[in-house]
Amino acid sequence: MVSLFAPRVLLPQGWAHDVRLTIDDQGVIAEITPDARPAPADRQLQGQVLLPAPANLHSHAFQRAMAGMTERLGNAADGDSFWTWRELMYRFLERLSPDDVEAIAAFVHMELLEAGYAAVAEFHYLHHGPDGTAYADPAELAARIAAAADQSGIGLTLLPVLYSQGGCDGRPLEGGQRRFGNDLDGFTRLVEGSERALKRLAADARLGLAPHSLRAVHPDDVTALVALRPGVPFHIHAAEQLAEVDEVRHHLGARPVEWLLARQPVDASWCLIHATHLAPAEVTDLAASGAVAGLCPLTEANLGDGIFAAQPYLRAEGRFGIGSDSHIRIALADELRQLETNQRLQHHARNVLAAPPRSTGRTLFEAACAGGAQALGRASGRLAAGQLADLLALDGEHPHLVGLDGDALLDAWLLAGTDRLVQNVWSAGRPLVEAGRHHARAAISKRYAATVRALRADL
Ligand code: NGQ
Ligand code: ZN
């Protein structure tokens, strides 16, 4: 049993003071008492502000190692786009070895933790060797993601991904895509191998499932996946690009989100990644489904995807969480800021997503905590007895925050500050970040640097 004492804490019922919090040996919050006095054994979080640490609901960890390397205009006749970026991404991943994948994932986990996230959902579709030949263990690379989580301590929801066609017309996988492919039998073995790998992690690790997208998976196979492990987190990319909406409409007779809502049992276990291009009815129907919209504002901006209909969606009480997807940058405050800023630019207004009396920062932060936890199948996202101790402590004495309190302090962090204000992070009670640094930063960084140096020299 560990006990903490914090002067300022965000609880589900609002801001609280002088809070004692005890954590049991499973990393679960045993008790929370506001207006308490510290006990002698308590770790005192002097000057700090204690918050729930959100989960990051969408990661392709390997893409971190190519961030910033596709920022020059290629020679595509009609300019660069998501699709030309995707070609470069496929070329990049052709070189990755299992050791590379593990080293990059550990570095991503460390950066996520230092940014204030306690957990991550890895949307894992890189399964085979460079020419598409399966490894002796079909879950070799899934196990490498789990090994990285073991080293970093992050809470992992592993989503093995089914990716079986090159487009809605059923064309075969080509080039770099050959590393992704499985039929349903192969996928079932991958899931079983992933479950074995997760057993070696702490009890908060979870399995989910993910058909990649309606481009990459036949509708019948989406149905088969739903039946494979009923109730686990179920993620799918949807409606990120206009060309994708058109392709799905052409082949399935409906827009991607419209099709999913009509033909699949979309409920609170589902997470629709991006959901960028929605018709008005899809906005309200998705909100009503209870599913989470998996928004990735920094990646979506970098890839030129478009702007999510956040205002009507939140008005319809739609749920969302934040992912960092391609990891173009790993920055929690910046993700939420980009989400709100996009709305300001689009609507020529300010504080578009605030739900009074809560401020903009508070509204976005609490929603992202709730949606992230839901999408990961993780009992977290709010500080209450029975929840995992996913905790984040901000430096309340930092010049950016000093003299501020309550929602104003969250706004100063999220709308005007940086992740450097994050001092401590615990994942399911595991203390992983102290004074802003992950405990294994030196070893993880050194290995990552050696990995990317070799990859970049090779390009
Ligand atoms: C992915 N990325 O799975 O990494 C995709 C590209 C695809 C984004 N959608 C591959 N941002 O969509 O087929
Ligand atoms: Zn993605």
pLDDT at 78 over 90: no
**How high is the pLDDT of residue 75?**
84
Q: Once rounded to an integer, what is the mean pLDDT over residues 85-110?
A: 97
CATH number at residue 221: 3.20.20.140
pLDDT digits (tens, 9 = 90+) for 152-176: 999 999 999 999 999 999 999 999 9
Whether residue 313 is found in the same domain as residue 436: no
User: Does the active-site annotation cover 348?
Assistant: no
DSSP state of 273: E
Whether residue 360 is found in the same domain as residue 415: no
Whether residue 362 is found in the same domain as residue 236: yes
Q: Once rounded to an integer, what is the mean pLDDT over residues 240-258?
A: 98
Whether residue 326 is found in the same domain as residue 354: yes
Q: Tell me the C-alpha distance between 92 and 227, whole Å.
A: 34
Average pLDDT, the chain: 98
Ligand nearest to the CA of 298: 1
**How high is the pLDDT of residue 458?**
84
Catalytic residue among 325, 334, 407, 411: 325
Is residue 345 in a domain? yes
Is residue 456 in a domain? no
Ligand nearest to the CA of 89: 1
Is residue 215 in a domain? yes
Whether residue 315 is found in the same domain as residue 412: no
Q: How far does residue 324's CA lie from ligand 2's centre (Å)?
A: 9
Q: Once rounded to an integer, what is the mean pLDDT over residues 412-431?
A: 98
| Residue range of the domain that includes 21 | 2-52+383-442
Catalytic residue among 109, 274, 327, 438: 274
DSSP per-residue string spanning 339-382: HHHHHHHHHT-SSTT--TTS-HHHHHHHHHHHHHHHHHT-S-SS
Q: How many helices (H) and strands (E) does the chain have?
A: 14, 18
pLDDT bucket at 48, cuts 50 / 70 / 90: very high
Where would I find the H helices in 94-160? 98-115, 140-152
327 lines ligand 1 (CB under 6 A): no
Number of domains in the chain: 2
Q: Specify the pTM.
A: 0.98
pLDDT digits (tens, 9 = 90+) for 307-362: 999 999 999 999 999 999 999 999 999 999 999 999 999 999 999 999 999 999 99
Whether residue 286 is found in the same domain as residue 340: yes
Closest C-alpha among 69, 155, 166 to residue 117: 155
Q: How far does residue 147's CA lie from ligand 1's centre (Å)?
A: 24
Surrounding residues of ion ligand 2, Cβ less than 5 A: 325
pLDDT digits (tens, 9 = 90+) for 131-148: 999 999 999 999 999 999
